[in-house]
Amino acid sequence: MASNTTLCANTLSTNSMNAGTLNHKLKMITASSGNKVLSMADSGSVVIPSGGARTITLPAVANSNGFNMVLFSGSAHSHILKTAASDETSLEGSIMHNANAGTPTRQEVTGHKQITLTNNPLVGDVVRVHCDGTNYFVHGDVNNAVVLA
């Protein structure tokens, strides 16, 4: 049995936990055989595209306050993360990349609708997404600059 420590109000107490129980496990969504359209029910998930270039479509921004997910590339393909509608230019944030083993660089994402992992993408490229109902805020760590549309 493993022990954990719990902080309750002003009291610190130690409790026992069954080591075989895992709480707060993230939902995993694999997109290995096709594209994936996400919904609010997918919030909190880790999406793993693989098996070829995949397109992951976010839910409509206006209905997605509180939505969050992580795109974790399961293959070295040009995966696409995009908004639900072609006129939703709600992607905001930044992508950090190392210029394909070069100098670490910050790439700004402002008012875009699509991020494509290109220019030598690698397994493990990651983009985190959070929505406030107006914008999707993104932060990524990838091998090389992404293509923004």
Q: pLDDT, tens digit, for every residue of 88-139?
A: 999 999 999 988 778 899 999 999 999 999 888 999 999 999 999 999 999 9
Per-residue pLDDT, 119:
81
Q: Are 36 and 57 in contact (CB under 8 A)?
A: yes
Per-residue pLDDT, 13:
46
pTM, entire model: 0.83
Per-residue pLDDT, 79:
97
Per-residue pLDDT, 26:
85
Token code pair at residue 102: 């070069």
Q: How does residue 84 score in pLDDT terms, banded at 50, 70 and 90? A: very high
**DSSP for 110-123?**
EEESEEE--SS--T
Per-residue pLDDT, 99:
85
Domain positions in the chain are: 25-148
Q: Containing H/E element for 91?
A: strand 91-97
Per-residue pLDDT, 6:
52
